[in-house]
Amino acid sequence: MHDLIATRPDGRAAEAPRVALWRLCRAVGAVVDSAAPCDVPRRVAALLPGILSVPGLLTPAQLAAPCEGYGRNPLFLCPRDRFSVLAMVWPAGVETPVHDHRTWCAFGVYGGELDDTRYDPAEASEDCTRAVPRAVLRHRAGAAAHLPADAPNIHRIHNPTGTLAVSLHVYGGNCELLGPNLDRVYSVEP
């Protein structure tokens, strides 16, 4: 029983990491079951700040990144393939290509900082692969965000700092069956 209780720096009891993850996954499942599909990413993002402050949430293996690029480490795969929770590990300076997603996405920063550049399609055609920058959002530890499920969700994530960053991502579907939640890679127009 004592492994379920940890102490926070302020002396109050803190939830053990595995319990916090279990509670998050139950809450995400309830949102997926009850919310309109276009509301799911926003509502899931609203759940993330609570887990982003849980100390010791990730094991050393879940904090691993490859020699080049960023790490995608599964934390939970819904047994009914409704969603996946991943730890994403971002070494200094690493960035994704400009891309969009096949399914909905919500994410939060567990440690460090990430820039999330949002883009609009360069033209209104279904096969458009060019994008125009719209906004850069700086997310610090504890911040959560989402991409719209019912509108273009083109973005790029970049670790602009000289230190490691870690984020938690919740995607629709099973990431092991679907692979990376990437629909299309875009070129950028000024």
Q: Are 53 and 17 in contact (CB under 8 A)?
A: no
Mean pLDDT of 14-41: 92
Number of Cβ atoms within 10 Å of the Cβ of 76? 15
List, for residues 107-158, the tens digit of each pLDDT value.
999 999 999 999 999 988 888 889 999 999 999 999 999 998 888 889 999 9
CATH number at residue 121: 2.60.120.10
Q: Fill in the DSSP letter of residue 141.
A: T
User: Which residue type sits at 141?
Assistant: A
List, for residues 41-86, the tens digit of each pLDDT value.
999 999 999 999 999 999 999 999 888 889 999 999 999 999 999 9
Q: Are 82 and 29 in contact (CB under 8 A)?
A: yes
Task: Tell whether the model's pLDDT for residue 4 goes beyond 80.
Answer: no
pLDDT band at residue 159 under the 50/70/90 scheme: very high
Is residue 109 classed exposed, middle or buried when 0-12, 13-18 and 19+ CB atoms within 10 A define those classes? buried
State the total domains in the chain. Answer: 1
Residue numbers of the domain that contains 88: 2-188
Q: Fill in the DSSP letter of residue 30.
A: H
Of 37-41, 43-47, 178-182, the range with the lowest mean pLDDT is 178-182
pLDDT at 175: 85
User: Which residue type sits at 16?
Assistant: A
In this structure, what are the phi and psi dihedrals at residue 80, rounded to the nearest 5 degrees? -100, 15
Mean pLDDT of 176-184: 76
Per-residue CA distances from 156 to 49, 66, 88, 97 (Å): 21, 19, 14, 6
Q: How confident is the prediction for the chain on average, in pLDDT?
A: 89
In this structure, what are the phi and psi dihedrals at residue 84, rounded to the nearest 5 degrees? -135, 145
Report yes or no on whether pTM surpasses 0.75.
Answer: yes
Q: If you search the block for the tokens 């990437």, which residue do you land on? A: 182
pLDDT at 15: 62
Q: Are 37 and 64 in contact (CB under 8 A)?
A: no
Residue with the larger pLDDT of the pair 189 and 13:
189
pLDDT at 7: 43
* Strand partners of residue 73: 87
pLDDT band at residue 10 under the 50/70/90 scheme: low
* Max Cα-Cα span within the chain: 57
* Strand partners of residue 103: none
